Amino acid sequence: MSASILVVEDEPAIQELVSYACANGGYAVRRAGSVQAAQEAVRAALPDLVILDWMLPDRTGLELLRELRAQERTREVPVIMLTARGAETDRVSGLDAGADDYVVKPFSPRELVSRVRAVFRRRAPQHSGEALEFGPLRIDPVRHEVCVNDEPVRMGLAEFKLLKFLIGHPERVFSRSQLLDSVWGDHVFIEERTVDVHVLRLRKALQPSGVQHLLQTVRGLGYRLSLRPE
C-alpha cells in the first residue's frame, strides 16, 4: 500500500532518474511526458503526490499546477516543482501557485526523495512511513500496528487504513465521499454507506481501550478524529 507519485517530466533521462529514485524510496511511480498525459493520468487515478517539471512540450507545469489547485478533486494533492530555472521570480510564482516545494536542476536523487518525504510529512503524514500519534493512539504504518497507550489493538485492513488517514489529518471533518477517495482510492465504486460500516467497526475495535469517542460523527458533514468533546 505504498503512496503513489506521478512524475511529469518530458526529458527521458531525468524522468528515468526521478522515477528510479522514487521507486527506490518505496513509492509507486507513474510517468507522464506532457501536461496532457499528466491530466489523463490524474483523471485515471488520483496520485498522492506530483513531481512536476516546469518546461513541458505542450504547456507549462505552472499552468497544470494552477489547474490542479483550482479543482476540488485535485486541490489537496501535494506538488513538488522541478525546474532548471533558479530565478527568484520563478520560485515565487511556483510557490504562489500552490507548489509545496521547489527543486532546482541539477539535483541529487537522494535530495529529491528527502524533499518528497518532507512534503509527505507536512501534507500527508500517513504516507511518510513514520509512526503517527494522536492523543493515546499510535499507528505504525510500516509494521501495520495500532496501539492505545502502548497496548496493541487489532483491527481489519480497511479500519487500519481509515484510522491511518484520519490520524494524519486530526481535528478535520471529512465527508463520506472524501474518505472514500482518500482511503479507498477514487474511481473505486463503493457506496458511501460502506464508510459508515467501517467507522462502526473501527469504533468497535477501539472500544475495549475506551477511546472510541475520539472517532466522532459530525452530523450532516461526516467524521473526524478529535480530542475535543463530542
Q: How far is the CB of 174 from Ca ion (least distance, A)?
A: 36
Residue 150, amino acid: D
Q: Which is nearer to Ca ion, 10 or 186 (CB)?
A: 10
Between residues 10 and 90, which has the closer beta carbon with respect to Ca ion? 10
Count CB atoms within 10 A of the CB of residue 143: 8
Q: Cα 104 vs. chain centroid, distance in angstroms?
A: 23
Binding status of residue 53 toward Ca ion by CB under 5 A: yes
* 23/55 with CB nearer Ca ion: 55
Q: Could you give the C-alpha distances from 114 to 29, 65, 101, 192, in angstroms and in order? A: 16, 21, 11, 36
Amino acid identity of residue 182, one-letter, is S
In the complex, least distance from residue 56 CB atom to Ca ion, rounded to whole angstroms = 6
Counting residues that bind Ca ion (by CB under 5 A) gives 3
Q: Which stretch binds Ca ion (CB under 5 A): 48-56, 68-76, 160-168, 207-215?
A: 48-56
Instruction: Return the number of the residue (14 or 147) whose C-beta is nearest Ca ion.
Output: 14
The stretch near Ca ion (CB under 5 A) out of 2-10, 37-45, 162-170, 217-225 is 2-10
Instruction: Choose the binding region for Ca ion from 37-45, 50-58, 96-104, 149-157 (rule: CB under 5 A).
Output: 50-58
Measured from the CB atom, the residue of 55 and 118 that comes closer to Ca ion is 55
Q: Which is nearer to Ca ion, 51 or 146 (CB)?
A: 51
Within 10 angstroms of residue 215's Cβ, the number of other Cβ atoms is 21
Closer to Ca ion at the Cβ: 105 or 117?
105
Instruction: Among 4, 10, 58, 59, indicate the residue that binds Ca ion (CB under 5 A).
Output: 10
Q: Give burial (CB, 10 Å; 0-12/13-18/19+) of 168.
A: buried
Quote the CA–CA distance of 194 and 184 in Å, as a whole number.
Answer: 10
Does position 8 interact with Ca ion (CB under 5 A)? The reply is no
Assess contact for 36 and 58: CB atoms under 8 A.
yes
Provide the β-strand partners of residue 216. Answer: 224
Is residue 118 within the footprint of Ca ion (CB under 5 A)? no
Which string of DSSP letters, residue by residue, matches 163-216? HHHHHHSTT--B-HHHHIIIII-TT----THHHHHHHHHHHHHHGGGT-GGGEE
Among positions 55, 131, 158, 211, the unique one binding Ca ion when judged by CB under 5 A: 55
Binding site for Ca ion (CB under 5 A): 10, 53, 55
